[in-house]
Amino acid sequence: MATGQSSIYNLPYPQVDDSVNVHGDIQSLATSLDNTLAGLGLSYMKLDVINTSGASIAAGSPVFINGHNSGQDLTTVGKAIPTTTSPILGLLKSTTANNAQGICVVSGVLPDVNTSEFVAGDILYVKTGGGLTNVRPVGGAGAVAVCAYADASNGVLVVTAKGNGTWGALKNGLS
């Protein structure tokens, strides 16, 4: 493609004296944009957090806010359990060790998680003991995600309403 590049995202663009290859130039620019935007995580809303649960929390696990770390100016989270922790903040993007910083996906598409125990379309809830289940817990806890693609390592979740029953009520015909 072109010989010029933007300074912020290192994307190519044509110079005045470049030969014109419309198909190739547009394809190259589109590929560069796909690669750049994917790295920015624009498919979801996120919050940087610190895990203060006392143990590592697996990727895709629901978490709740349990405080604030003033030294790092970050929200602290713990592993969500359906009977005691509400509302749910979101799902962790990757496995996060105790006292380590991580990313909580508050809403949007969460890719690359293990969803092998679900099927596409399953409504997911906070599991007793933490994690996710496709069986609605006793007491009618709200849905936290929908499985968009089931796979052991490349699964995709759509993070939805957190712990208030709204998404679950809509999916269950306003039950």
pLDDT along the chain (175 residues), means of 10: 54 68 64 60 80 94 90 91 78 95 90 92 87 82 85 87 47 41
Q: Are 53 and 77 in contact (CB under 8 A)?
A: yes
For the chain, the structural domain boundaries read 4-40, 44-171
pLDDT tens digits along 127-138: 888 889 999 877
pTM confidence score:
0.69
Reading the block at residue 164, the tokens are 């208030």
Q: Which residues lie closer than 8 Å to 57 by C-beta, 6 or more apart?
A: 51, 63, 77, 79, 92, 95, 96, 102, 130
